Amino acid sequence: MRAVVQRVSRASVTVDGEVVGAIAEPGLLALVGVTHGDGPAEAAKLARKLWTLRILEDEKSCSDVGAPLLVVSQFTLYGDARKGRRPTWQAAAPGPVAEPLVDQVVKELRGLGARVETGVFGAQMSVELVNEGPFTVLVEI
């Protein structure tokens, strides 16, 4: 599993003109990708990492300050454009495998006490954010 994590002051996800998930205070936006071979153990490990990642102001984590997270599925994190000009998505897990694992990350985060908003798996989403810093980290489990 991979996540691109951005420290944000606010972020939202819109589908068909309707906001489906938003955080309106400092927190994290996590774009989550799933690859073949990922399972519940990786989802739990990623959730723990996101919850305790010390990238907020003063090296705090979401768990330290109760900051919210916006989790958005992002299969393109496994895009490979090393050859040619057209990326391949072969490393991305198919939807029926990936969707329950992204849901598991959200469930694990909530179980840890996190306030979590989400996008809609497989939808054409518009993601809007105000990046704090800018500060972006790649997390790979």
Q: For residue 29, give the CATH number of its domain.
A: 3.50.80.10
What's the pLDDT score for residue 105? 98
Tell me how far apart the alpha carbons of residues 26 and 7 are, in angstroms, rounded to a whole number: 7
Of these residues, 52, 76, 88, 90, which one is catalytic?
A: 76
Q: How many domains does the chain have?
A: 1
- Mean pLDDT lowest for which of 32-36, 58-62, 81-85? 81-85
* pTM, to two decimals: 0.94
Give the pLDDT confidence of 5-58 residue by residue, as tens digits.
999 999 999 999 999 999 999 999 999 999 999 999 999 999 999 999 999 999
Q: Examine the residue annotation and report whether 121 is marked as an active-site residue of this protein.
A: no
List pLDDT tens digits, range 86-131: 999 999 999 999 999 999 999 999 999 999 999 999 899 999 999 9
Q: Is 76 a catalytic residue?
A: yes
Residue with tokens 């997390």: 139
- Given the residues 14, 74, 104, 118, select the one marked as catalytic: 74
Of residues 6, 14, 35, 75, which has the active-site annotation?
A: 75
Residue 105, domain extent: 2-140
